[in-house]
Amino acid sequence: MILVSKRFLKMLTGNFAQAITLWPFVILKSTELKKDWTLINHERIHLRQQIELLLVFFYLWYAIEFLARWIICRDTNKAYHHICFEKEAYLNDNNPEYLNTRKLFSFLKYL
């Protein structure tokens, strides 16, 4: 389910993100972004990852991996882009067939 809330997004991510996925919601910064097919597909990949890890383990893993990568590289943007969930989503968000062919726990390939 897609929601639009600039305020909520800013509260959670500062000015960092245009969208965030908190199953079952995808929250966008603006209505315009609904037309961004790649972004929506990116967030749909996160929805699938979140279900696979029963939500709570996704958020825990995401936070721990981000922190570990940030400690290593001291670069917020780099740490974010190297999280396995983000790597899987960014490398496949332009593929319309990806979610139809994706195997369970595919994010593990991007660790």
Identify which of residues 28 and 89 has a Cβ nearer to Zn ion in the complex. 89
27: how many CB neighbours lie within 10 A of its CB? Answer: 21
For the CB of residue 64, give the shortest distance to Zn ion in the complex, in Å. 16
Identify which of residues 54 and 84 has a Cβ nearer to Zn ion in the complex. 84
110: how many CB neighbours lie within 10 A of its CB? Answer: 16
- Euclidean distance between CA atoms 93 and 4, whole angstroms: 20
89 binds Zn ion (CB under 5 A): yes
For the CB of residue 43, give the shortest distance to Zn ion in the complex, in Å. 7
Binding site for Zn ion (CB under 5 A): 86, 89
